[in-house]
Amino acid sequence: MIPVCARRPVVSDPAADATTEVRAGLGFEVPRLEAWLREHVAGFRGPVTVRQFKGGQSNPTYLLSTPTRNYVLRRKPPGPLLASAHAVDREYRVLTALGAHTTVPVARTHALCTDGAVIGSWFYVMEYVQGRLYWDAALPELPRDARRGYYDAMIDALATLHRVDPAAVGLTDYGRANGYLLRQIARWAKQYHEDEAAGRIASMDRLIEWLPRNLPVAEPPAAVVHGDYRLDNLMFDREGPRVLAILDWELSTIGDPIADFAYHLMIWRMPSLSVAGLAGRDLPDLGIPTEDEYVATYCRLTGREVLPHLDFYIAFCMFRLAGIFHGIRGRVLRGTAVSARARDYAGHAEAMADLAWAQARKGSSPGRRR
């Protein structure tokens, strides 16, 4: 297996058409930002040119170009926000801790700003390194024989994260160790109910009732979890299958590593719903590991023999993704959506919730709460 490259901060390359002009409503006063950067970022020298990255559904992300080096700025969106969302300060904290104390591939951080007067919302600044981003899980850009190496790199990076001892990196209080699944169900149910503008979805209502009644009895030891670990949140080396950085840590916390892995794994059971799923694809022909092979690799890398209750975990993760799509719909309607693809994601909220409910209806297994 190709080793993961540690501590190489990275975002996408503008030469690869990753950025655009700053979108309407997401701009800010650049001179005021430059003044803050001179005071808080060691070695900063302006002037700075600002462009916005095309990706990202929650927190707007910008490329800051200067004559000597480039930076990345990630901020809360302006406008009315749900209380528990867009926690850029938490992103900054986990990136800083992992970058300083582990070999997990993350971006190096420079500074956090909690003064909303600078650009209109909280933000943090991190380093920039060029890499390559992929969107389609089938990896059509790559030759067949190369694809398994990229899947090996993906699972190696996640297993590296899950092997981190939260106490050893100062993240013991980054989240509660016990009750992760129940808290997550309650959190997403709360955000779903609070976002009345996005409407109600019958399958979401069923899942909110079903999931707490079918929780696995035993919880695995808690770990640092990413919360949104998927192909398009990984930046790869342009020269081969190495993960240079795991991106978008907004949903990270201390929690259940099996749930974190299941969120990544569910693409094997998904059709194409805004993201290209692998369900129904000929994986051996594509050169991509099967679900069973991928599960076995994760177990080997994390010292597990089996992953119990995986069907429940997949249903839970699909419910979370439906909640994310529902939240994006709400931001579209409120005018605070930050991605050009937001309407596409928003339009699949019902289909994602229905898929999650179908997964849940496969039945309960022994050992679950009633």
CATH number where 44 lies: 3.30.200.20
Same domain, 332 and 316: yes
Last residue of a domain, one of 102, 132, 162: 132
Same domain, 103 and 175: no
What is the reported pLDDT for 343?
A: 82
Helix (H) or strand (E) holding 225, with range, is strand 223-225
Going residue by residue through the chain (370 aa), what tens digit of pLDDT does each one get? 333 333 333 444 443 468 889 988 889 999 999 999 999 999 999 999 999 988 655 789 999 999 999 999 999 887 645 555 568 999 999 999 999 999 999 999 999 999 999 999 999 999 997 899 998 999 999 999 999 999 999 999 999 999 999 999 999 999 998 999 999 999 999 999 999 889 999 999 999 999 999 999 888 999 999 999 999 999 999 999 999 999 999 999 999 999 999 999 999 999 876 677 899 999 999 999 999 999 999 999 999 999 989 999 999 999 999 998 999 898 888 887 766 678 888 888 999 999 999 999 885 543 444 3
What is the reported pLDDT for 48?
A: 96
Q: Look at residue 252 and tell me if it is in a domain.
A: yes
Same domain, 220 and 315: yes
What is the reported pLDDT for 177?
A: 86
The owner of tokens 């990413």 is: 226
Give the chain's radius of gyration (CA, Å): 20
Same domain, 55 and 139: no
Same domain, 287 and 308: yes
Please provide residue 202's backbone torsions phi and psi, each rounded to the nearest 5 degrees. Answer: -55, -45
What stretches of 9-136 adopt beta strand conformation (E)? Answer: 19-20, 49-53, 61-65, 70-75, 109-113, 123-127, 132-133
Sorted by sequence, the CB contacts under 8 Å of residue 205 that are 6+ apart come out as none
The owner of tokens 């990196």 is: 169
Same domain, 150 and 291: yes
Answer for the pair 71, 110: CB distance below 8 angstroms, yes or no. yes
By C-alpha distance, which of 189, 232, 226, 162 is closest to 320?
A: 189
Same domain, 256 and 351: yes
Same domain, 140 and 127: no
What are the residues facing 253 on neighbouring strands?
A: 225
**Distance between CA atoms of residues 264 and 278, nearest Å:** 12
Same domain, 74 and 171: no
In this structure, is the dihedral angle defined by the CA atoms of residues 8, 9, 14 and 17, taken in order, positive or negative? positive
Q: What is the three-class DSSP state of 316?
A: helix
Question: Which amino acid, residue 83?
Answer: A
What are the residues facing 73 on neighbouring strands?
A: 62, 125
Please provide residue 123's backbone torsions phi and psi, each rounded to the nearest 5 degrees. Answer: -160, 165
DSSP state of 22: P
Count other Cβ atoms within 10 Å, centred on residue 296: 15
**Distance between CA atoms of residues 130 and 120, nearest Å:** 28
Q: Look at residue 7 and tell me if it is in a domain.
A: no
Same domain, 97 and 160: no
For 22-73, where are the alpha helices, taking DSSP H only?
A: 30-40
* Parent domain of 300: 134-360
How far is Cα of residue 293 from the mean position of the Cα atoms in its chain?
23
Count other Cβ atoms within 10 Å, centred on residue 152: 17
Domain count, the chain: 2
141-152 pLDDT, tens per residue? 999 999 999 999
Please tell me the pTM assigned to this model. 0.86
Same domain, 202 and 294: yes
Same domain, 140 and 128: no
278-311 pLDDT, tens per residue? 999 999 999 999 999 999 999 999 999 999 899 9
How far is Cα of residue 241 from the mean position of the Cα atoms in its chain?
19
Last residue of a domain, one of 132, 147, 164: 132
